[in-house]
Amino acid sequence: MFHVTSSRNRESLFAHGLDWRLMGVSCGITGSDAPVQAGCFLCIDETEVNWFVRTNNTGGPVDVWEVDGVGVQELVRSPEGHWYLPTTVPPARLKLVHADVPPPR
């Protein structure tokens, strides 16, 4: 699994992991200023990762994080058709795999 977020959130993810309740340093990947769901959006494959990277509406670069220890059965599909995990993910289960991916042109 993977999570795409603004690079401005990097320090928070290293310190707190994925927690939608801490959203505030940067807007969501689609430009939302508040959590869209009570959970963390995850990508199950590279196609979804690429879609979220291309959708980047954060005003700056994004990071791609690998999320360990999550099974597909734990995910919930949002009304928009994207998968999210309705729990937090501790920092020990995250690995930064792509840093500062530039916004689309």
* Residue range 11-44, pLDDT digits in tens: 999 999 999 988 766 666 666 766 788 999 999 9
Provide the residue range defining the domain that includes 74. Answer: 2-101
Q: Are the CB atoms for 15 and 91 separated by under 8 Å?
A: yes
DSSP helix/strand/coil, 92:
helix
CA-to-CA distance for 96 and 81, rounded, in angstroms?
25
pTM confidence score: 0.90
Phi–psi pair at 44, nearest 5 degrees: -95, -10
The pLDDT score that the predictor gives to residue 68 is 97
